[in-house]
Structure 1
């Protein structure tokens, strides 16, 4: 009877997760936040076009993604989040760029930055998307051709992007003042039993292993594999992990179709800048409503930043390589999440045994 009950519970969770893939969650984020993010993130590209330095403008656009971290909080908290987020962005990009001279060093630094960024974001209370985008910048930096002579310029461009976004955030916060305090992330009882840094270390090792496996398979610039693994590991419940895995695969598949259209078309710089604005707007509007819909637009913009100056592959080869990345990263992330959840369940059982 107990075994049948467990099976029914598992089937129910799977069905619920599959239904959750298409759920549209109401979001309280105002629409003008999406306009702010879209304008702030695309401004470096438009500036690059104006001074005939479009590719440098794209590099700065990566730093401008820090605008996505602007919380609905008091002014002081908003400015602190933008400043600390900018430091994380520049630090992650710089360290990953300096150590990208070999595959081994890239794997090691990706794991290290995943661990350090997670701890920093937790300690200084940086809310979602947490350490994800600094980590994404680090992964992208590892596939940019290694050249120490251009490193200061690339780092400065990312910093300029952060500064532009921070200026927009400052003006926005003066206009739309709020004293709302963001909800604090509470740890579950099992997470308080297991040292949080140990979980972060375990996740970092998984991400590092994912990148190593992808490189050992001779995939071309498999930066999307560790990114996918990190995204799936954000779940802390079985339902959340299953839902996020399915959503990430579906969203990435559709996003890859958009990316294939972008790379198969010879878009003018002005069109690409407008495209960046549209993609960021879609991410801001949709990510908080449905993860899969948001990932559809995260995928092409990340590939755009990573591949525009470094990839010599055709559009079809590019899409195939990134799809293999997503399968490897999501699979390893799901297995790692299951191991973490299994440990949580064991702790709950131990607690129940102690009480009885």
Structure 2
């Protein structure tokens, strides 16, 4: 265990040099989130623009596939994201039902991602969208903070635009002629082996305990952050050392990301600056995520915080940031501890 922890700590300072180039992937992700936000902000609908960001997470899936293959895979991803958003909106008025829904979404979307071999980034953004949706449309003083119907339409529009961006390379004849595997090869299954079942069991434990601990130490309405952190740390590998490494990267990356979030928070008060910062963060995330996971988290944390604060109209950034740190530690610790269910490696 100590050897694995030492290796995980040292990996924080390693930037993979053999990862494939991701410039175009990062650009597609940045366009997917930045163009709808920028256009709607220019038209005076900044709030709706920021809400489309949840749908833009579609662009993060099947990123390394050809455009014709993305055309087959991404409708399923978009459908799951929109369904998670709808469930988050539906259950938002009730803390108890939101907590139950969080467990269902965490386990259900993980079963989908593992069973169909969806690949990176796995189920984490499904869980995140569910939690964000509940917070963005939560009830305060008997009224919704944001209109649920408008929000869901914005998410669907963001997902649709991301899909079109993902298919944009098809304008080139060479891309249209590129061989594409059938959907049964791209999403084989559903089938869950021993390793996948172990991952699901870990996620169930993380979801239940994450909700309880977050409700006790932070805010029950934001327990999704602890759970999504745990899901991200679990990842896609049923190996104990992988859990330790991901936990270290997630915790350190989020702590540094929280500091960055506080630094860029004043920019979020300016509409144009918010568009530029969110777009730049999304680009940087996709550029570095396969090279150093902790470094990606440095950018993911302020991105999600900026989206949440801007979408809910909250003026305070320090409070949510501190809560994110607590939730990250909770989720990471739970994920690392449950890693003992896996074989040594």
CA contact 1:71–1:81 (8 Å) conserved in 2 = no
* Distance (whole Å) between structure 1 residues aligned to residue 239 and residue 78 of structure 2: 30
Structure ID, larger Rg: 1
Question: Helix, strand or coil: the match of 1:314?
Answer: coil
**Structure 1 residues 337 and 181: alpha-carbon distance in aligned structure 2, compared to 1, 3 A threshold:** farther
Give the corresponding residue for 1:14. Answer: 5
In the superposition, relative to structure 1, how do residues 44 and 17 fare at CA in structure 2: closer, same or farther (>3 Å)? same
Structure 1 residues 173 and 247, CA, compared in 2 at 3 Å: closer, same or farther?
farther
Instruction: Judge conservation of contact 2:218–2:323 (CA < 8 Å) in 1.
Output: no
Give the Å deviation of 1:181: 6.7
**SS of structure 1 residue aligned to 2:276:** helix
Equivalent residue for 1:310, pick from 309, 312, 322: 312
User: How far 1:221 sits from its partner (Å)?
Assistant: 4.0
Q: How does 1:131-170 map to 2 (within 5 A)?
A: 131-144=123-136, 145-146=138-139, 147=144, 150-170=147-167
CA distance in 1, matches of 2:199, 2:2: 28
1:1-356 maps to which residues of 2 (within 5 A)? 10-25=1-16, 26-144=18-136, 145-146=138-139, 147=144, 150-175=147-172, 177=175, 178-179=178-179, 192=193, 194=194, 196-197=196-197, 199-219=199-219, 221-222=221-222, 223-234=224-235, 235-265=237-267, 267-310=269-312, 312=314, 314-338=316-340, 340-341=341-342, 344=343
- Greater mean alpha carbon deviation, residues 79-88 or residues 228-237: 228-237
CA-CA distance at 1:196 after TM superposition:
3.5
Distance across 1 between alignment mates of 2:265 and 2:245: 30
Q: Which moves more between the two structures, 235-244 or 131-140? A: 235-244
Which whole-Å deviations, capped at 9, do the CAs of 1:206-239 have from their partners, x for residues lacking one?
Answer: 2132023211335374332111111112253222
State the alpha-carbon separation in 2 of the partners of residues 96 and 316 from structure 1. 25
Aligned residue for 1:302, secondary structure, equals: helix
For structure 1, list consecutive stretches of 5 or more residues without a partner in the other structure.
1-9, 349-356
Following TM superposition, by how much is the alpha carbon of 1:302 offset from its aligned partner in structure 2, in angstroms? 0.9
Provide the rounded CA distance (Å) in 1 between the counterparts of 2:93 and 2:242.
Answer: 37
Q: How big is the alpha-carbon RMSD for the aligned residues of Structure 1 and Structure 2?
A: 2.8
Q: Which runs of 5+ in 2 are unaligned?
A: none
CA contact (8 A) 1:74 1:181 kept: no
Q: How many angstroms apart in 1 are the aligned matches of 2:187 and 2:15?
A: 22
Range 73-82 or range 224-233, more displaced = 73-82
Q: Which moved more, 1:211-220 or 1:326-335?
A: 211-220
| Residues 310 and 239 (structure 1), Cα distance of their counterparts in 2 relative to 1, 3 Å cut | same
* Alignment length (residue pairs): 330
- Contact 2:84–2:105 under 8 Å retained in 1: yes
Conserved 8 A contact 1:97-1:142: yes
Residues 1:323 and 1:172: Cα distance change in structure 2 (over 3 Å): same
Separation in 2 of the partners of 1:35 and 1:195? 34
